[in-house]
A and B are shown apart, each in its own frame.
Chain A
Amino acid sequence: MSVAAGGNSIPSPIVRPDSAGPAKVRFREPQIEMAHGAGGKASRRLVEGLFAPLLFASSSEPLGDAAYLDFNGTKIAITTDSFVVNPLSFPGGSIGELAVNGTVNDLAVSGARAEAMVVTYVLEAGLPTPVLEAEVRAMGNAARKAGVAIRGGDTKVVEHGKADFMYITTTGIGRPLPGLKIDPHTVRPGDKVLLSGSIGDHGITILLARGELDFEADLRSDTRSVLPLVEALAKAAAPGIRWMRDPTRGGVATSLNELARDCGCGIVLTEEVIPVHGAVRGACELLGLDPLHIANEGQFLAVVSPEYADAALNALNLAPGGEDAQMIGEVREQPAGAVLVTTRYGGSRIIDMLVGDPLPRIC
């Protein structure tokens, strides 16, 4: 996802800032805190309160993962995302792979197939060449796997100590998948919420890879292109797909809270069917985190109309890598604008967007 500060996308239509009306900046916080980049509430305030009014013409449009541009009837999706993950590599992936998959996924959940990408490297002087080479190689491999061409880029180097090894920004354009219309305003009570697989693997893997905690788990980042799964879903249920999002920073809870706010409905989840690996659950229990707030890099959420829900889930389950996909809840009228989780024994709790930042620099 790239709604938040780290990689915001521009809602269409694009209008030059000088032709926009009077900008109302509502962001009043004195300085930028880590939380403003965490993808949760603070990020949203920054984007909606500062970026949107000054940069986007129609800031009333819901912020999506990618923007659509119209060139004389030809629609193109565009998105951009930056990667500052620490450490650079971790079990299951590395910053280079994330940088490609993140942008491919933002386009995929916006209903587009990534076609081309440009990449910007910000490098810290002193970065060993083998580290850079490994990441560039990882990007090349990930791009080939995802079927996207890297067509250009830019390199900047800053003094030693002014950056942390390397940061990568990728900007991608994509071609719309036929028959898909992603719009949170079309979501209505009765729709079903689908999740492509187990949650929390990426965030917890990064946390453990930092070596600050003395426990080990057999866990890998879930970084991957979700495009094949999105295509399988679209093939089986395109007319029923109303909304998709990849729950990266802030996790499933944050993505669904944004949806609840945008569509004005309530999202009710059934906790027991949400797939979470044992190691992630264990780490979350120990650290007091909720798996629903932990970042993912290879999963997506879809809201599907009830008549297409079974076909959609079936298609996901049959696609490679979609075996663990589940229907995790549904859209209701209440609690309007919020997400409710029901427990196995009839209790329930509201789950909000991520507040603060338990795990900074996760992607």
Chain B
Amino acid sequence: MKFVDEFREPEVIIRTAEEIKRLADPSRHYRIMEVCGGHTHAIYRFGLKDLLPSNIELIHGPGCPVCVLPMGRIDDGLAIAQEPNVIFAAFGDMMRVPGTQGSPLEHKARGMDVRIVYSPSDALKLAEVNPNKHVMFFAIGFETTAPSTALTLMRAKSRGVHNFSVFCNHVTIIPAIRAILDSPDMRIDAFIGPGHVSTVIGCRPYEWIAKNENKPVAVSGFEPLDILQGIVMVLRQLKADEAKIENQYKRVVPWEGNNAALRAMAEVFELRPYFEWRGLGFISQSALRIRDSYAEWDTEQRFHVPGVRVTDPKAAQCGEVLKGVLKPHQCKLFAKECTPEHPIGSLMVSSEGSCAAYFNYEHRKTAMVTSIAMPA
């Protein structure tokens, strides 16, 4: 498969892993945060931790849109979908995220009209073929998915589709990284920067991390080789006592970002003064709302939104895991009350959530296996 297989070539991967071993100073402990949930998933799926020396610790970052969404927002969305003739449309990732009264999927089993869509434009199509219903698209995601929501809203406006609205939960990555760096219990040496977000925003917005915080950043792709090369880049910088922004994912990420996408976002969205993140609390100017010129397609302006605020279950330590202070298995509920089948926190839901990734691919492995040789 093109663009996939060449980044999974065993010889190159093994060579890169050896390079990492050479670069890592054995007397030092490295804490490298991979910002994206996509990275986290790939690290577990491809067993990359097995290839790294033990003094390189990968910290899973906040870049999982489902994971950072507070439960209250899910309750709000589901409350609106209770109204007659409303179709709740969302990405598949959202379907098993628990609200206080259950997940969208559980609401579907109780009769709510819940649909999985693969893009916001599919939700708009749904509205066009169901003129007597109102389709609410539950939008989540960082700058990766925000442009397609923006384009869909522009299309809804130009086509005059009035039975469609977006419940906007789009967030932006930079304030989250800043919140993590500002957190007193955080010590991070370097970042594997988000690949897909950067296809939109480019690499410039990270420059302050190198300049002001003196931390290396390598914007990286999601294949095994991409991630390992990103680690090589930041290790080289740390060795040379440098801090700069490097772009490992050049085949997709332009340094200056994608202007057309940024323009679409600017047309439709503006920054919220503040927004609540699960685990990180309220972060100012960290999320997007729909501009008044698109008020007709803004769920929050068209419907009464209860504005529910729900605290996470007391024992759940999603916040600490999300910030990288705790490893997934160090949470009190991990694999006990909280499993992918019965998730309590959303990190256990999305395949990009560090708890789900750890549970699915790692936890029984480390619990039961000390060393495993390759089968003959």
Contact = CB atoms under 8 A, between A and B. Distances in A.
A335 B363 CA distance: 11
B129 interface: no
B243 to A, nearest CB: 29
Interface in B55-105: 92, 95-96, 105
Contacts of B365: 335, 338, 340, 348-350
Contacts of B296: none
Interface residues of B, number: 39
A347 interface: yes
B351 A288 contact: yes
Contacts of A133: none
A342 interface: yes
Contact of A347 (B51, B92, B122, B351): B51
A349 B45 contact: yes
Contact of B368 (A270, A288, A334): A334
A258 to B, nearest CB: 15
A213 B110 CA distance: 26
Contacts of B95: 356
B362 A350 contact: yes
A31 B109 contact: yes
A152 interface: no
B50 interface: yes
A356 B96 contact: yes
A200 interface: no
A278 interface: yes
A311 interface: no
A348 B372 contact: yes
A34 interface: yes
A343 B368 contact: no
A338 B92 CA distance: 27
Contact of B105 (A34, A268, A342, A348): A34
A342 B341 contact: no
B310 interface: no
Interface in A328-342: 329-330, 332, 334-336, 338, 340, 342
Contacts of A350: 360-365
A95 B49 CA distance: 44
A270 B375 contact: yes
A335 B364 contact: yes
A256 to B, nearest CB: 14
Contacts of B267: none
A42 B8 CA distance: 34
B207 to A, nearest CB: 31
A362 B364 CA distance: 29
B47 interface: yes
Contacts of B361: 349-351
12 contacts: A285-B4, A332-B372, A335-B365, A335-B369, A340-B365, A342-B47, A343-B46, A345-B17, A346-B14, A346-B47, A348-B365, A351-B360
Given A212-B122, A350-B360, 20 more contacts: A34-B109, A41-B341, A42-B341, A212-B118, A269-B375, A278-B1, A288-B351, A330-B375, A334-B372, A335-B365, A342-B47, A344-B10, A346-B50, A346-B374, A348-B365, A349-B365, A350-B361, A351-B360, A351-B361, A352-B360
Q: Which 7 A-B pairs have the closest CB atoms?
A: A347-B47, A349-B361, A344-B10, A335-B368, A345-B10, A345-B13, A348-B47
Interface of B: 1, 4, 8, 10, 13-14, 17, 44-51, 92, 95-96, 105-106, 109-110, 118, 122, 224, 340-341, 351, 360-365, 368-369, 372, 374-375
